[in-house]
Amino acid sequence: MKNLPMDLLRTFVTINDLGGFTQAGEVLGRSQPAVSLQVKRLEELVSVQLFNRAQGLRLTEEGQMLYGYARKILDLNDTAVSRVMTPAVSGSVRLGIPNDFEVSFLPVLLSKFSRAYPNVMLDVSSDLSVHLRRDYLRGAFDLVMSMDEHPSSEILADDAIVEPLAWISGADFHLDPAEPVPLVLYPKGCVYRHHVTEALNQAGIAWRILYCTSSLLGIQSAIEAGLGISALANNTVPGMLKADKVLGHLPPLGDVTIGFNYDAANLSAAGKRLLEHLRQGLQQSQLYHPPKRI
């Protein structure tokens, strides 16, 4: 029985996630020829072609099958390494996260953390960032992941990641320049809402709020139904919605800052582990998240 080297699988997965040999090499710290050689070695080991280079580096049917297994193998490997090499940590962490991150990559990150640190109990709540920061100051959370204007005075500079905003619309939505822009928005206090209304006001474009909800599912459902359009950080856009940096005659929305709120002096060992885990995941998400037409 053949053994598949972990470094070859990691290179293979990274190439597919990033969409290119050069991009994967930059992340993995290898040259493009070295990355190509690793793929060749892996293809020789499994005796199949993994990428169809004539179709824009798409996975072959066999490549898609191996990708699924490779992902599981790498996740299991990384969890094992974390469990064995990391000192045992226990306790509980009260974590606050923005609404729109609860259906993106964050649940996967939290699942990996729980597998690596089974003795840490997570108490996770989602809300608008402005509410999360308010409740954090009242002592309701140990750690809060939040979104703010860019540049931000609310988020520690070392943790800040800048994320572009995108206009979000349904697959069949058509914008009528002669009518006020129909908007589907979070309540007042939301960073997205502020960016949208400010951008439209500065451009002199009429708008009206057709649907307002604090639920991401409500926002998503209203957009899918064609009620209007909205805005989200590009990294949180559900796959069934369209994301555009500029939509029709509408202006770009700029950037937001994503980061963490915490008291470094009083954060527990479990909280510090979670902060490190989320910080790394947030940084990697910018590299691994596929573009959505923005």
Q: How confident is the model at residue 287 (pLDDT cuts 50, 70, 90)?
A: very low
Under the banding of pLDDT at 50, 70 and 90, the label for residue 154 is low
Each residue's pLDDT tens digit, 62-75: 999 999 999 889 88
* Mean pLDDT of the 113-135 span: 90
Nearest to 61 by CA among 69, 53, 51: 51
pLDDT in tens, 198-241: 999 999 999 999 999 988 888 989 999 999 999 988 777 777 78
pLDDT (mean) for 247-268? 89
Mean per-residue pLDDT of the chain: 85
Look up the pTM and report it. 0.65
Task: Give the separation between CA 89 and CA 26, rounded to whole angstroms.
Answer: 33
Most confident of 13-27, 63-77, 97-111: 63-77
Q: Domains plus CATH for the chain?
A: 6-85 (1.10.10.10), 91-162+257-288 (3.40.190.10), 163-254 (3.40.190.10)
CA angle 292, 293, 294 (to 5 degrees): 90
Report the pLDDT value the prediction gives residue 81, as an integer from 0 to 100. Answer: 78
Q: Taking the alpha carbons of 82, 99, 101, 202 in that order, is the dihedral positive or negative?
A: negative
For helices 6-18 and 269-288, give the axis angle rounded to 10 degrees. Answer: 60
Question: What share of the chain has pLDDT > 90, as a percent?
Answer: 40
Specify the pairing of strand 58-59 against strand 91-98: unpaired
| Helix 6-18 and helix 32-46, axial crossing angle in degrees, nearest 10 | 120
Handedness of CA 73, 10, 104, 247 (dihedral sign): negative
CA distance 230 to 69: 36
